Amino acid sequence: MTIIHVSTKQSWRGGEQQIAYLIDELRDAGVEQVVLTPANSKLSDFCQEHGIRKTHFYKWTGINFHAAHVLKKICKRYSQPIIHAHDSHAHTFAYLSSLFFGNKAPIIVSRRVDFPVHRNLFSKWKYNAPQIRKIICVSEKIKEITAPSIHNKTLLTVVYSGIDISRFSAPKTQNILKKYFQIPEHHLIIGNIAALAPHKDYFTFVDTAELILKQYQDVTFLIIGQGP
């Protein structure tokens, strides 16, 4: 068995960190893996640094026949390939690879976003393709949102995001944030690290901060992320 991870993102955010954790765990379990990702992506850099086999494709649009063809060629090299599509465009590549290039490899789809599947005909076909073996949702809510678009509900399953707890087994308190932002030494820091995007629901974080600060003054809230 060989897992073909497909990721189309250039940047490194939460989804890419989850892919990295998965790659590490599968490698420790002795599972053969290949990563298909854009050249110069952050995930490509990760693979280079950790000795993970990788292949690149040219990125231009979501309907990318070049990437679909590259994926077919990768799958032909292995006797039992399994495609793991880690984002919507990756899912599109896998579907195009099966539809136009005869790729018979089974597909696993990861679904992390909290909005419904598009209602156009292409999305309907893509999410109900016969090659799909599982659609992994990151939460029960994502599963609930995705379910109306899926004919075979048994394909849906939930696998939560994880962390490598060994990285925090011996934490070092260096007070870097307190020094940088001139936060009082006795303050507790509560932070939210995520992209500054509407679906991250920062309004709830700010509302919660307001409620806590009414009762506790020795708390500082931090928001860390890129966005407008």
Going residue by residue through the chain, which has 228 residues, state the pLDDT in tens, using 9 for 90 and above.
Answer: 999 999 999 999 899 999 999 999 999 999 999 999 999 899 999 999 999 999 999 877 778 999 999 999 999 999 999 999 999 999 999 999 999 999 999 999 999 998 899 999 999 999 999 999 999 999 999 999 999 999 999 999 999 999 888 887 877 777 889 999 999 999 999 999 988 988 888 999 999 999 999 999 999 999 998 887
> In whole angstroms, what is the distance from residue 87 CA to residue 84 CA?
9
Q: What is the pTM of this model?
A: 0.88
Looking at the structure, do residues 121 and 186 belong to the same domain, yes or no?
no
The range of the structural domain enclosing residue 54 comes to: 2-158
Looking at the structure, do residues 120 and 202 belong to the same domain, yes or no?
no
Last residue of a domain, one of 125, 158, 191: 158
- Residue whose entry in the numeric block shows the structure tokens 């990295």: 20
Residue 202 placed within a domain: yes
Residue 12 placed within a domain: yes
Looking at the structure, do residues 81 and 139 belong to the same domain, yes or no?
yes
Residue type, 17: Q
Looking at the structure, do residues 137 and 193 belong to the same domain, yes or no?
no
The number of domains in the chain is 2
